[in-house]
A and B are shown apart, each in its own frame.
Chain A
Amino acid sequence: MSRSIKLKKGFDIRLEGIAEKKLGATVDPVMFGVRPTDFPGLIPKLEVKPDSEVLAGTPLFCDKLHPEIQFTSPVSGRVISVERGERRKMLEVTVEKNGTRYIDFGKAEPDKLTAGQIINQLLNSGLWPAIRQRPYHIVADPNDKPKSIFISGFDTAPLAPDYNFILENSSLALFRTGIRALSKLTSGLVNLVLNGNRKDNQIFDAIEGVEKSYFSGPHPAGNAGVHIHHLDPLNKGEIVWIVNLQDVFSIGRLFEEGIYKPERIVALTGSEVIKPQYYRMLSGSAVTQVVAGKINPGNQRYISGNVLTGTKIGPEGFLGYYDSQITVIPEGNYYEFFGWADPGISKFSFSRTFLSSLFPRRSYKLDTNMHGGERAFVVTGQYEKVIPMDIFPMQLLKAIIAEDIDNMENLGIYEVAEEDFALCEFICPSKIEIQSELRKGLDLMRKEMS
């Protein structure tokens, strides 16, 4: 029974610099990095030392509380450094690539394996973290039984890569194998949610063993959290797993070829990119090579991921574990004379308080300026307009700030993650750090429930 859901709430941020549907040469950089900070709530335990030799699939660090969950090197080579931040928090493990040697995890046909064997294979190879769970939006616990698995077949975030294009340029056989492996892990459905607005979804016809549903509407219509809320809502005590579309290929490859090779097609986007387009690369790749010569001069912000939820990286940073997009936009560290009084022909806003709202089709170049200082909650009824879920965002945030566990639970904290509230943060006139607040709430809830 495929379902079709039309969403009205939400907002598309129209940025300049969408990637042209063209695949550039495969990017093969020398430096790679894996960031423990890509995995919220993780307490990493280092398993290598600088200078040690690693293969593609050698564990770099593991989860201190679940040592079986390993985070492995995407390439073979030598560990260069372990970057640490405040209070020795591990930020980055970097590896210099040398040759192409893989650990052989053994080929297997997922249909012939038990769920336990599949889980072990995923854990050992370092692909397990590709499976995340709701509630809390963290790496899944291998001991859990999810009631269903969700894969989003489209991304509605600003300048997001086009998954249909990615699928056209990838091996469908790997994808099908990946699906077969995943479907062993749940007694429920493996949901593949597609964009109901598109006519070219035939490419997905070749994929079987999944429950297809169709969502249409503005961002965040492509977010897994929104899909779960409408198709299989999470109640207290229930667990749903989420896998990114491109990681399904990697999972397929693990079983077909026996290796860990987190390859993906990445969109290089943003107003500061000259000729934005797609490139094939591994997760953890340094972006240095792919951006070289393709960025306008000036002070730019390099983001792994999209502008709403991505991670700030430098021009020498690394592609994040879950990201299939690199965005480059201008930094906004300038003073603006009476900026708040500007009629705002060229200022893109969710509200209709700027003249730009008279041009509903134009794309804009946005920078990283905050456009104001932090205030208390004043304006009401705005967050609700960008969350297509039956949830009271402001009340939930207030419960989080007050650390009111009961109310957080009652108001549906299990169903949401930062990415679902990212638009609230964008439009917030009080400039509140909503995503960080929500993460605090999720962490607190998790601590309280364990």
Chain B
Amino acid sequence: MNSLRKKLDKLKPHFSKGGRFEKLQSVFDGFEAFMFVSDKVTFKGSHIRDPLDLKRTMTVVIIALLPALLFGSYNTGLQHFRSVGIDPSLFQAFWFGFLRILPLIIVSYVVGLGIEFIAAQIRGHEINEGYLVTGLLIPLIMPIDIPLWMLALAVAFSVILGKEVFGGTGMNIFNPALLARAFVFFSYPAWMTGDNVWTEGLTAGKNIVDGFSGATPLSLCAAGEITKLPSFMQMFLGFIPGSVGETSTVAILIGAVILIITGVGSWKIIAGVFAGGMGMGLLLNAVSLNAYMELPFYYHFVMGGFAFGAVFMATDPVSGSQTEKGKWIYGILIGVLSILIRVLNPAYPEGVMLAILLMNLFAPLIDYFVVQSNIKKRLKRAKVALKTSVK
């Protein structure tokens, strides 16, 4: 490591102000900080610091995403081979899917990090780690057949207009990954809806076996074909068509456990989303005007992106509620809205994305009320003190 360190020290002046490559300073710093934690020491205030930094926080989220990514790779292959009538081996399916997902991940990171580097250079800041997670989240919530240029455009849109214009990581109002998905959803609806985009190769339509539909559980529900739903177990394990990372509730729950144990993800938000979803599901059951409303609430948890959204999207600390009480309210409302949109709005079979984006918008308002209650308590205390002193 020493020789690498020496090389970096030698190169550093070229990338500093006045050096030959000063325009690439942020890139150099980014890579340097990636490989070596800085030798910077405390100067004032606390002399010791927790070894936890944002890089590690983000790394934990990435680790939590791995089960969903690995299963997603397998399921992508599995759905493809099913569509062409082949029964693949475990590895065959995984490898096929992995090779299809890899380009999505690469495009997402190259475009997103490229913009981050430029933004950091313009601002003269260090490069933020936020995109490390966003960059992996985006491919996981896209349909596998999305064209790469479309993905690149969506990433650029979400990073520039969703994040950088507000001041970069930590300042954004909306969850950048969901913004990318919303961009595709509204700009290219043909690539985000319907039955064909969720299975690799189905849009091209070559060699597809008769009778294979590729419909996701949610589109079955929206079409009123509840009876055709796969079994609960099938959906819970994730052997169904859908966005790359969202299908397996098991894999997502493993991620949830990692986030909750390490404390990186807020358990209050996750629990809130599920509680809200359950409440709304039960309410719909009670009203029960059609077959979709009669669907047991826990089916909603394993269909579509509900679990993925609850665990990985709603828990984004920047766009979510920032007060502890607010996190409960925020989570519960996401759960309620998700199911509400799913079941009662015929235009959008999936409600999680819109619910979270909507609540991102309302999170500051929730926090405002929570903080105001604290302020009022303090004012009230002051008034009581004033009264007793006058007496």
Interface residues, chain A, with chain B CB atoms under 8 Å away: 13, 15, 233, 235-236, 238, 301, 303, 307-310, 312, 327, 329, 331-342, 344, 347-354, 366-381, 384, 390-392, 394-395, 410-412, 418, 422, 425-431, 433-436
Contact = CB atoms under 8 A, between A and B. Distances in A.
B54 interface: yes
Interface string B44-56: 1111111111111
Contacts of A340: 37, 53, 55-56, 59
Given A337-B35, A410-B378, A429 B50 contact: yes
Of B59, B130, B170, B377, most buried by chain A (CB within 10 Å of CB) is B170
Interface in B54-107: 54-57, 59-60
Interface residues of B, number: 61
B37 A378 contact: no
B36 interface: yes
Contacts of B322: 380-381, 394-395
Given A341-B59, A351-B263, A381-B324, A335 B47 contact: no
A339 B40 CA distance: 13
Interface in B12-42: 33, 35-42
Given A335-B38, A380-B322, A381-B317, A352 B261 contact: yes
B52 A351 contact: yes
Nearest to B260: A352
Of B5, B56, B374, B382, most buried by chain A (CB within 10 Å of CB) is B56
A373 B48 CA distance: 14
B262 A339 contact: no
B263 A329 contact: no
A238 B385 contact: yes
Given A335-B39, A369-B39, A372-B38, A427 B381 contact: no
A312 to B, nearest CB: 7
A332 B41 CA distance: 6
Given A348-B50, A351-B52, 16 more contacts: A235-B382, A327-B47, A333-B41, A340-B53, A344-B51, A353-B52, A369-B49, A371-B53, A372-B53, A373-B126, A375-B170, A376-B169, A376-B171, A380-B320, A425-B45, A436-B45
For the complex of A and B, list the 7 residue pairs with the smallest distance between their C-beta atoms, beginning with the closest: A372-B53, A376-B170, A339-B37, A235-B382, A435-B45, A340-B55, A335-B36
Contacts of B38: 335, 370, 372-373
B46 A426 contact: yes
Given A335-B38, A392-B371, A303 B47 contact: yes
B128 interface: yes
Interface in B168-218: 168-171
A375 B317 contact: no
A15 B377 CA distance: 38
B311 to A, nearest CB: 16
B50 A371 contact: yes
A257 B327 CA distance: 59
Of A308, A369, A378, A434, most buried by chain B (CB within 10 Å of CB) is A378
A413 B324 CA distance: 20
B367 to A, nearest CB: 8
B1 interface: yes
B212 to A, nearest CB: 43
Contacts of A341: 56, 59
B237 interface: no
A431 B266 contact: no
A212 to B, nearest CB: 23
Contacts of B327: 381
Contacts of A352: 261-263
Contacts of A369: 37, 39-42, 49
Of B36, B43, B45, B367, most buried by chain A (CB within 10 Å of CB) is B45
Given A233-B381, A370-B42, A380-B317, A392 B323 contact: yes
B250 interface: no
B88 to A, nearest CB: 34
Nearest to A339: B37
12 contacts: A309-B46, A354-B51, A369-B40, A369-B42, A371-B52, A372-B53, A373-B40, A375-B128, A376-B169, A380-B320, A391-B374, A392-B371
B126 A426 contact: no
A436 B44 contact: yes
B56 A368 contact: no
Contact of B50 (A394, A418, A426): A426
Interface in B357-391: 367, 371, 374-375, 377-379, 381-382, 385-386
Given A372-B55, A379-B57, A351 B262 contact: yes
A378 B175 CA distance: 13
Given A380-B317, A422-B45, A335 B52 contact: no
A183 B382 CA distance: 25
B295 interface: no
A341 B35 CA distance: 10
B264 interface: yes
A372 B37 contact: yes
B60 A378 contact: no
B167 interface: yes
Nearest to A395: B371
B47 A308 contact: yes
Nearest to A310: B47
A351 B263 CA distance: 7
Given A335-B36, A369-B41, A380-B322, A329 B55 contact: no
Contacts of A381: 266, 317, 322, 324, 327
A312 B42 CA distance: 10
A152 B183 CA distance: 58
Contact of A353 (B36, B47, B264): B264
A334 B262 CA distance: 27
Given A369-B39, A378-B170, A429-B57, A337 B1 contact: yes
Of B44, B168, B261, most buried by chain A (CB within 10 Å of CB) is B44
Contact of A372 (B4, B41, B54, B170): B54
B275 interface: no
Contact of A347 (B51, B59, B167, B379): B51
A395 B367 CA distance: 10
B49 A371 contact: yes
A349 B382 contact: no
Contacts of A13: 48
B226 interface: no
B160 interface: no
B220 interface: no
Nearest to A15: B48
A406 to B, nearest CB: 10
Contacts of A331: 41
A344 B59 CA distance: 14
A359 B33 CA distance: 29
B152 interface: no
A349 B52 CA distance: 7
A308 B375 CA distance: 29
A307 B318 CA distance: 30
